[in-house]
């Protein structure tokens, strides 16, 4: 592999670990929202907005440096489970994050579970949790201790996410604290600190989906529709496709959970599993939902109807699975009628060649040739989503290299080496770019056409998720703790 990328970044100098999966103090208080009220500075979904560009449009000052040991610029810390891959979201004064059950917020709920936690965004106080049992089929569908990997979506008084069981849930943002509102009323756990299901769509039971290792999709909403990757994949043989007719992408009514449309243009060409998420934007006068799919293609659909508009193969014509052909785990970023996306593979497959494309989303049909605006192949496999600001696109690969490219031409500007595997995505806010890695380091860079490192801090354990800027606070989830970071005059007492 070194020879293949002789002119670009080399493979890691040490092996990256591969678990199976997959911002004084008075100002801060004045910026935090009242619980339940929406804020223009919230981060209510993966990427912040439906176009999935990892850039905060409006934000008060955020810290460039902090110290989790001394508590400097650490507002609060909350415990998470032992493995956290779910990316936090912040809305209405609450923060939600997926993890496993090893934080034991309810000591009567023991054993391996999928957990969605809700905290008070101002204090870090625990509010409620939604508990999902593990699937009896085991690791083929629901890998042990991986918890909830979906990044939730908050829309009004509902929070949506995909459980470890392949269920798309709509929950009351207040949990059971305001009662069991329904129409779903069959929850087993009904204390004030339990989650309250409003509706549920079991994608395995009702749609025939067969998740490979883990269900993982970050829902996106547009109008009355919610778009989700149904997570269908291979069985444990990595060859057989138990449910070849199950949908790849679905649209449901966000109020009721009723299926509106579904699509599967992958069929038997599915390479492994499907863990990408969809983005939504107006492209060429049409509202499109765009998603990377399990055959390595990206597809654009009419959001209202599911009509396929275009498709684009992210792999070279001579690529061969599994050595050089990739599926798509990254989320597409949509900007000015263009779609930007990289391909890659499940991290357990390690490092390898990747491809980053800029695609003209106004085309129709197979636009693999006609729709390609530029192609950057000096990149390794990536599971990350891009951030685009001021004419520069930033995207890390799994090998730990952050690539900065001219967004118009794809010309490489600079590459930053984190020296560790990168699972998360860069986030730009307050003139800073934040990126975490598997060693637990978070690097802060100055976005621009030349590389400028501002600082680098260690969080004490691996960072598999992405930083979240909201209402003057920077939230970062490490493997087992959630940090709220903000400029303050005195350090917070460090927590164990």
Count CB atoms within 10 A of the CB of residue 372: 16
| pLDDT range class, residue 217, cuts 50, 70, 90 | very high
pLDDT band at residue 160 under the 50/70/90 scheme: very high
Residues 441-483: pLDDT tens digits?
Answer: 999 999 999 999 999 999 999 999 999 999 999 999 999 999 9
CB 432 within 8 A of CB 447: yes
Confidence of residue 425 (pLDDT cuts 50, 70, 90): very high
Q: Identify the sign of the CA torsion 359, 290, 44, 441.
A: negative
Weakest-pLDDT range from 27-36, 88-97, 311-320: 27-36
What is the per-residue pLDDT for 32? 37
* CATH of the structural domain 3-485, one choice from 2.130.10.10, 3.40.640.10, 3.50.30.40, 1.10.10.10: 2.130.10.10
Tell me: pLDDT of 10 over 90. Answer: no
> Residue range 346-372: average pLDDT?
97
Please list, in sequence order, all residues whose beta carbon lies within 8 angstroms of the beta carbon of residue 467, skipping any fewer than 6 positions away: 424, 427, 434, 435, 436, 442, 474, 475, 476
**Residue 16 binned pLDDT confidence (cut-offs 50, 70, 90):** very low
CB 282 within 8 A of CB 50: no
Copy the structure tokens of residue 118.
């809700």
Locate the domains of the chain by residue range: 3-485
Q: Is 282 exposed, middle or buried (0-12, 13-18, 19+ CB in 10 A)?
A: middle
* Residue-level pLDDT at 38: 56
The string of DSSP letters for 433-458 reads EEEE-TTSEEEEE--SSS--EEEEEE
- pTM of this prediction exceeds 0.75: yes
Query: In degrees rounded to 5, what are phi and psi of residue 207?
Result: -115, -5
Q: Is the pLDDT of residue 316 over 80?
A: yes
Q: What is the mean pLDDT of the chain?
A: 92
- 139 φ/ψ angles, rounded to the nearest 5 degrees: -65, -20
Supply the pLDDT for residue 324.
Answer: 93
Q: Which of 16-20, 103-107, 489-493 has the highest mean pLDDT?
A: 103-107
Which residue, chain included where needed, has tokens 């460039």?
64
Q: Confirm if 23 and 429 have CB atoms less than 8 A apart.
A: yes
pLDDT score at 494: 54
Res. 12: pLDDT tops 60:
no
Report pLDDT digits (tens) over 238-251.
999 999 999 999 99
C-alpha to C-alpha distance for 322 and 345, rounded to whole angstroms: 9
């Amino acid at each position: 592999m070194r020879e293949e990328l002789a002119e670009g970044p080399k493979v890691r100098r040490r092996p990256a670990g591969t678990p199976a999966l997959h911002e004084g103090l008075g100002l801060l208080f004045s910026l935090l929202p009242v619980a339940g009220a929406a804020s223009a500075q919230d981060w209510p979904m993966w990427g912040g907005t439906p176009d999935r560009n990892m850039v905060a449009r409006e934000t008060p000052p955020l810290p460039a440096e902090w110290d989790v040991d001394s508590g400097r610029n650490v507002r609060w810390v909350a415990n998470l489970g032992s493995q956290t891959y779910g990316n936090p979201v912040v809305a209405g004064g609450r923060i939600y994050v997926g993890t496993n059950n090893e934080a034991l917020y309810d000591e009567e709920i023991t054993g391996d579970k999928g957990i969605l936690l809700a905290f008070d965004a101002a204090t870090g106080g625990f509010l409620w949790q939604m508990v999902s049992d593990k699937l009896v089929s085991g690791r083929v569908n629901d890998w042990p201790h991986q918890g909830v990997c979906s990044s939730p979506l908050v829309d009004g008084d509902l929070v949506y996410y995909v459980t470890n069981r392949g269920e798309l849930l709509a929950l009351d943002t207040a949990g059971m604290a305001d009662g069991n509102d329904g129409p779903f009323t069959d929850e087993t756990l009904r204390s004030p600190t339990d989650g309250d299901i409003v509706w549920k769509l079991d994608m395995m039971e009702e749609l025939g989906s067969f998740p490979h290792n883990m269900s993982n999709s970050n829902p996106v909403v547009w109008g009355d529709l919610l778009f989700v990757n149904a997570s269908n994949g291979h069985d444990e043989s990595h060859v057989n496709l138990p449910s070849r007719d199950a949908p790849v992408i679905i649209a449901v009514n966000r109020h009721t959970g009723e299926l509106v449309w579904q699509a599967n243009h992958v069929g038997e060409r599915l390479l492994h599993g499907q863990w990408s998420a969809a983005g939504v934007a107006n492209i060429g006068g049409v509202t499109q939902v765009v998603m990377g799919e399990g055959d390595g293609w990206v597809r654009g659909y009419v959001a209202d109807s599911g009509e396929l508009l275009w498709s684009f193969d992210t792999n070279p014509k001579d690529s061969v699975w599994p050595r050089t052909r990739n599926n798509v785990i990254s989320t597409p970023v949509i900007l000015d009628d263009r779609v930007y996306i990289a391909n890659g593979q499940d991290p357990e497959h390690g490092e390898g060649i990747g491809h980053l494309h800029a695609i003209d989303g106004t085309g129709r049909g197979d636009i693999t040739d006609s729709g390609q605006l530029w192609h950057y192949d000096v990149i390794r496999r990536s599971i990350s989503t891009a951030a685009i600001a001021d004419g520069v696109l930033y995207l890390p690969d799994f090998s730990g290299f952050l690539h900065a490219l001219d967004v118009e031409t794809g010309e490489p500007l600079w590459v930053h080496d984190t020296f560790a595997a990168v699972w998360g995505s860069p986030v730009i806010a307050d003139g800073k770019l934040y990126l975490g890695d598997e060693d637990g380091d978070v690097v802060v860079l100055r976005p621009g056409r030349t590389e400028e490192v501002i600082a680098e801090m260690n969080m004490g354990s691996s960072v598999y998720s992405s930083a979240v800027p909201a209402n003057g606070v920077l939230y970062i989830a490490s493997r087992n703790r959630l940090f709220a970071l903000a400029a303050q005059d005195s350090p917070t007492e460090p927590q164990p």
